[in-house]
Amino acid sequence: MDRGEIVESGTHASLSKKKNGLYAHLASLQFDMERPAGKQAAE
């Protein structure tokens, strides 16, 4: 949701794969914050 509007729908897997998607962006922010300092994401 963005400003009260549904902007994307789908499963976690499908939404996470969208490079410019809002869901993928927010998930990456959350998971980057949860990663211990000095650890890099698997690419």
Query: What are 4-28's pLDDT values in tens digits?
Result: 999 999 999 999 999 899 999 999 9
Is 20 within the bounds of a domain? Answer: yes
- Residue 29 domain boundaries: 1-34
Domain count, the chain: 1
User: Global pTM?
Assistant: 0.61
Specify the pLDDT at position 38: 59
Answer whether 8's CB lies under 8 Å from 23's CB: yes
By three-state DSSP, how is residue 2 classified? strand
Specify the pLDDT at position 31: 82
Specify the pLDDT at position 40: 60
Between the alpha carbon of residue 22 and those of residues 3, 15, 26, 29, the distances in Å are: 12, 9, 6, 11
Please state, as a whole number, how many other Cβ atoms lie within 10 Å of the Cβ of residue 17. 12
Is 41 within the bounds of a domain? Answer: no
Specify the pLDDT at position 25: 93
Helices assigned H by DSSP within the chain: 12-17, 22-34
Specify the pLDDT at position 34: 67
Is 42 within the bounds of a domain? Answer: no
Specify the pLDDT at position 32: 79
